[in-house]
Homo-oligomer: A and B are copies of this chain.
Amino acid sequence: MDLLVHLRRNAKYYPDKLAVSDRETKITWAEFDRRAFRLAASLSQLGLKKGDRVGVLMSNGYRYLEAYYALPRLGAIIVPLNTRYAPAEFAFVLNDCAATALLIEDTFLPLYEKFGPRLETVQTLVFTSKTASYAPEGMLDYEGLIADSPGAAFFQDVRSEPDDTVGLFYTGGTTGRSKGVMLSHKNLIANALNSAAVSDISTRTVYCHVAPMFHIADASSIVTYTMMGACHTFLPRFDAVQALETIQRERVSHIGLVPTMINLLVQVPTIKDYDLSSLKLIFSGGSPTPVEVLRKFRQLLPCKLRQGYGMTEASPGVTTLDWETLLRAVDAPPDSPESRIMLSCGIPGTNVEIRILNDQGEEIRPGEIGEIVARGPNIMKGYWNLPEETARVLRDGWYYTGDLATIDEENFVYIVDRKKDMIISGGENIYSAEVENALYAHPAVLEAAVIGVPDQKWGERVHAVIVLKPGYEATEDELVKVCREQISGYKIPRSLEFLPEMPKSGAGKILKRNLREKYWQPGLRQVN
C-alpha cells in the first residue's frame, strides 16, 4: 500500500484519461506517469536516494503534482515549503531536515537570493518555470531532467513500505519553532480513503487545486483524487472571478475552499453568468461558514458543501460535517439546538476515533470542555528529529491535539479554543507564540499576547495586545516593522491594542480568553 500503486494503476488502466487539464495543457495519466518516472530517474542519477529530503518551493501547477509522485519513486521525502515564509523560515526548515535538494520555481528566485546563502545541506537545485525555458547558472532545468532522463535502463521505482515517510509537512509550534510532521504512505492513504468514502469521486471527477499545494489541506486532496483517477486542474492563487472562470472552463466538479473564499465567491456580482453546473462538492475547513454565506451558497451554487476540522498531524481529517446535516441546521429556527450545528465541525471521519478529555482524563459530557484526542491510521508517525515533542503528543496510540472542544447532546463537536493558540486567518495557520516572539524583539515590549479576533474577510485576523515597559514608548508602525523583519507577511498583526497590564491567572499565566472576550460572541469561539 503506497502512493505509487495509484499512479501505476491510473497509467495502466486509464492511460488516455486526463491527469491534468489546465487550459491548453492536457496530460494523460500515461504521460504523467512517464514524466514523473523520468524525473525520478534523473534525480536518482544525480545521487538522490531513499530517505533524502527534497524541498519544493513552487506555486500550484502540474509540476508540483509531478513532484509529489516523482519523489516517492526514489523513496525521497518531499518537503513542501510555504511560499509565504520569510527567508529565515525557509532556511530553518531546509536546514532542520538537512534537505539535499530543492525544486524551485522562477518566481521564487528573488526569495532564494535571501535564504540561499544560509542553506547548509542543499546541493542540487532544480529550476522550474511556467514561462522561461532555461535554468539559471548553477541550477538544473526541470524539463531538461525529464527530457534527458536515463530512463528505465538505469532506474526502477524503489519499493516503499506503508510506514515509510512520504513528506515532511512543517507546521508552526507553540514555541515558535516549526516542526516537521512526518506523514507516511499509510497515513495519507488512510485519510484519502476516509475522504473518498464520502465524496463520490471517479475518473470523471475534475478537482481544482486552489488551496496551496504545499499545505496538507491540498496535499491530502492530491492523494485522494489521484487515488480515484480523477483529473487535476489548478489555480496558482485564489481569485473569486478566476475561480468561477476555471470551474466553467475546466468543468470542475470538486474544489476545496476556506470560508473566506466561499464568501468571496458568492459575492461576485456576475456569478450567475457562469456555467457552474459541473460543480458537485466544495469542502471547507478552518472555521465554520457564516449562515448568510451558507444561504447565498445554496441559492447560487449547485453543489454540496462539507466542512471539517483537522490538522497536519492527522493528514489532516479528524471530523467532518455533511451537507445534509448542515442544510438541516440552516433551515432550523435560529437559536434552536439544531441551528447551532452550523457552528459544529461535525463528527469523526470514517476510521477516526476521537475522545474529548477533561483535565482528569475522563470523557466530557455535553456542554463541558475538554481536549480533543484522536486515533486512527491517519495520525502522523511523529515530528522529524523531535522524539520528546512526539512523545508528548502521541500517547498510547492517541494524538493529543491541544485543541479544546465541547459537544452537544447529539455528540456534534464544537471547537472552543486552540490550546496551541493558533489563529486561522484566510485558511493560513498562525501560531501566536511565533508572532509574540517577533514582538518581543522590540525593546519597549514588556508583554505581548497575540489572539485571533473575528474578521469579516479572513475569518480571523491577527490581533496583538501589548504591555509596554514602564517609561518606554512604541508605535504600532514600529511594532509591525519589527515583525516584518522576522516573520511572513500573513502572520503580522493587523491590529494592535495597548493595555496597562495583562489579565492573569493565579499562576501568573496571561488569560487570553479574557482578552478575546470583548471580540467574540458570548459562549463559543466559533472556529473549527
Report which A residues bind B (CB closer than 8 A).
1, 5-6, 8-9, 12-13, 162, 189-190, 193, 196-198, 200-202, 204, 227-228, 322, 324, 347-348, 350-351, 353, 376-377, 410-411
**Which 10 residue pairs spanning A and B have beta carbons closest together?**
A196-B197, A193-B193, A13-B347, A1-B377, A200-B200, A12-B411, A5-B353, A13-B411, A1-B351, A197-B197
Determine the residue in chain B with the shortest Cβ distance to A198: B202
A1-B376, A1-B377, A377-B1 given; A189·B347 CB < 8 A: no
Q: Name 16 extra pairs, CB < 8 A, besides A1-B190, A12-B411, A13-B347.
A: A1-B351, A1-B376, A1-B377, A5-B353, A6-B350, A8-B353, A13-B348, A13-B410, A162-B377, A193-B196, A196-B197, A196-B350, A197-B197, A198-B202, A200-B200, A227-B350
A9-B348, A12-B411, A411-B13 given; A197·B201 CB < 8 A: yes
Q: How far is the CA of A204 from the CA of B350 in the complex (A)?
A: 15
Interface-centre pick from A196, A204, A350 (highest chain B CB count, 10 A): A350
Residues of B within 8 A of A411 (CB): 12-13
Interface-centre pick from A201, A351, A377, A410 (highest chain B CB count, 10 A): A351
Q: How far is the CA of A313 from the CA of B213 in the complex (A)?
A: 38
Partner of A193, one of B197, B347, B348: B197
Q: How far is the CA of A42 from the CA of B190 in the complex (A)?
A: 34
Q: How far is the CA of A190 from the CA of B5 in the complex (A)?
A: 14
Q: How far is the CA of A6 from the CA of B189 in the complex (A)?
A: 18
Q: How far is the CA of A227 from the CA of B194 in the complex (A)?
A: 11
B189–A351 touching, CB < 8 Å: yes
Residues of B within 8 A of A350 (CB): 6, 9, 193, 196, 227-228
Residues of B within 8 A of A9 (CB): 347-348, 350, 353
Q: How far is the CA of A227 from the CA of B12 in the complex (A)?
A: 30
Interface-centre pick from A162, A197, A410 (highest chain B CB count, 10 A): A197
Q: How far is the CA of A489 from the CA of B350 in the complex (A)?
A: 41
Interface-centre pick from A193, A202, A204, A228 (highest chain B CB count, 10 A): A193
Q: How far is the CA of A376 from the CA of B190 in the complex (A)?
A: 14
Pairs across A and B, CB under 8 Å, 14 listed: A5-B351, A6-B350, A8-B353, A9-B348, A9-B353, A12-B411, A13-B347, A196-B196, A197-B197, A197-B227, A198-B202, A200-B200, A202-B322, A227-B350
Q: How far is the CA of A146 from the CA of B90 in the complex (A)?
A: 61
Distance in Å: Cβ of A82 to nearest Cβ of chain B: 30
Q: How far is the CA of A337 from the CA of B181 in the complex (A)?
A: 49
Q: How far is the CA of A12 from the CA of B5 in the complex (A)?
A: 35
Q: How far is the CA of A196 from the CA of B1 in the complex (A)?
A: 17
Distance in Å: Cβ of A224 to nearest Cβ of chain B: 9
Determine the residue in chain B with the shortest Cβ distance to A397: B159
Residues of B within 8 A of A12 (CB): 411
Q: How far is the CA of A86 from the CA of B88 in the complex (A)?
A: 75
Distance in Å: Cβ of A156 to nearest Cβ of chain B: 14
Residues of B within 8 A of A190 (CB): 1
Distance in Å: Cβ of A376 to nearest Cβ of chain B: 7
Partner of A228, one of B6, B197, B200, B348: B197
Distance in Å: Cβ of A163 to nearest Cβ of chain B: 12
Q: How far is the CA of A499 from the CA of B352 in the complex (A)?
A: 61
Q: How far is the CA of A162 from the CA of B377 in the complex (A)?
A: 10
Residues of B within 8 A of A377 (CB): 1, 162
Distance in Å: Cβ of A409 to nearest Cβ of chain B: 11
Q: How far is the CA of A387 from the CA of B322 in the complex (A)?
A: 46
Residues of B within 8 A of A353 (CB): 5, 8-9
Residues of B within 8 A of A322 (CB): 202
Residues of B within 8 A of A189 (CB): 351
Residues of B within 8 A of A193 (CB): 193, 196-197, 350-351
Interface-centre pick from A9, A162, A189, A201 (highest chain B CB count, 10 A): A9
Determine the residue in chain B with the shortest Cβ distance to A376: B1
Residues of B within 8 A of A8 (CB): 353
Determine the residue in chain B with the shortest Cβ distance to A8: B353
Determine the residue in chain B with the shortest Cβ distance to A229: B350
